[in-house]
Amino acid sequence: MGVLTDYFRAPDAAAVVRELERTDGGSPELDGVRAKRIDPTVLLGQLVAAVRQEPWRAGLVTETPVWPTAPLPGPGGPADEDDPWATGPWVTELGDDARDALAGAGDERLPPAVAAWAVAEEWGGADPAELLPVAEELVALAGRARAAGERLYCWICL
């Protein structure tokens, strides 16, 4: 099945926590995009880099943990498999720089950015035509979030 990733927008982390409590940690029922396998750190980061026409680097997309609400585990990692940080799901808030880069991609800049994104080694050889629709959805979601003064979030479940 693989990793499931959903991107969505919300006014703030408190609204996200309320929604996740309502769904018992399930994917939030908010304005969003299902983006299986597109993790925020690497693959979304590579799309952001391609839109900006710069090389990808670690930390390009900043993330702040939102869910679970339990404290992050110490240096040794989660204590056991009952620790929510070991089992997920997880939600992170993405930095506004990534939101704004995507929101500003526009119709002319997006196809060449997706062509560059498609060669990312993590795709294992992707067709840009197959990636373009999800990229368009992510760009539109980022635009709606920016227009509403909201943040972007990523829900991840193994």
- What is the structure's pLDDT at 80? 63
- What is the structure's pLDDT at 47? 97
- What is the structure's pLDDT at 158? 83
Residues 6+ apart with CB under 8 A from 39: 3, 5, 154, 156
Give me the CATH topology for the region 4-67+84-157.
Answer: Hypothetical protein yfbM fold (3.40.1760)
Domains of the chain by residue range: 4-67+84-157
For the whole model, what pTM was predicted?
0.91
Alpha-carbon span 155 to 17, nearest angstrom? 11
Segment 83-105 shows an average pLDDT of 89
pLDDT tens for 12-47 read: 999 999 999 999 889 999 999 999 889 999 999 999
DSSP class per residue in 82-107: TSHHHH--EEEEEPHHHHHHHHT-HH
- What is the structure's pLDDT at 71? 66
- What is the structure's pLDDT at 107? 83
Dihedral sign computed on CA atoms, order 66, 67, 69, 70: negative
What is the number of other CB atoms lying within 10 angstroms of the CB of residue 3?
12
- What is the structure's pLDDT at 36? 85
pLDDT tens for 121-149 read: 999 889 999 999 999 999 999 999 999 99
- What is the structure's pLDDT at 98? 98
- What is the structure's pLDDT at 79? 59
pLDDT tens for 53-88 read: 999 999 999 999 999 876 666 666 655 666 666 777
- What is the structure's pLDDT at 93? 97
